[in-house]
Amino acid sequence: MGDLDDEGPAQYASPPCFMHELDPEFRAMPAPEWPEVRRWRKAERARLIEGRLEISADARAAMAGLIAAGLDQIIGDMHGKMVSLYWPFRGEPDLRSWLASVNARGGKTALPIAIELGRPLIFRAYAPGDKLERGVWNIPIPAAGPEVIPDIVIAPLVGFEAQGYRLGYGGGFFDRTLAALPRRALVIGVGYEVARIPTIYPQPHDIPMDRIVTEAGVIN
């Protein structure tokens, strides 16, 4: 699931391109237009996904353990907190063991569900052992359970920049969802350090993460 990379015009509020801040040579250059950025994101997304799939399963498992430790560092006491995670897809960090530990420590957990393109995600309560069914892209989702509002949203990253902006899969789900939540959640992006890029060319619809966690540590 991803941000609004490939779907229509900008809709939400956040700063535009930061290339002039990253490299003084860009000060005299106009910011790329959205069609150009969209094409670039599509190519960069494919490159980054291919790169993470080349990482061995053992290495990804080790990095997932370090990412879980970073999440614990940020969140602290889990008791009473509703945490939305995700079901791992195409080499994403597999944090299902960490999800089980949230429940063991008194927290509650949920998974995001895509209803249809162009609409925000919903979140449905889920704990290990609950029945699952196939959702969009055949990603498992809870077959039943109440719809919930998370206190903490863990969002997978295809790519990311140090300013907190996230490159997702291009469907627009997370940006729409974060804009539509009835109350503010702590939003944490998780991914591998190899996914760090100089910029995603942020657009007005892109919403930055509050924190980003990789195997190398926490980015505030």
* 100-109 pLDDT tens trace: 999 999 999 9
Q: Name the fold adopted by 19-219.
A: Rossmann fold (3.40.50)
Mean pLDDT taken over the chain: 88
Beta strands at 159-160 and 82-84: parallel, antiparallel or unpaired:
unpaired
Amino acid at 173: F
Q: Each residue of 19-38: pLDDT tens digit?
A: 444 444 444 456 789 899 99
Residue 191 has pLDDT above 70, yes or no: yes
- Domain boundaries in the chain? 19-219
Mean pLDDT over 120-138 rounds to 93
What percent of the chain shows pLDDT beyond 90?
Answer: 73
pLDDT band of 71, cuts 50, 70, 90 = very high
- Cβ 79 vs Cβ 107: under 8 Å: yes
CB contact set of 196 (below 8 Å; sequence gap of 6+): 159, 160, 161, 162, 214
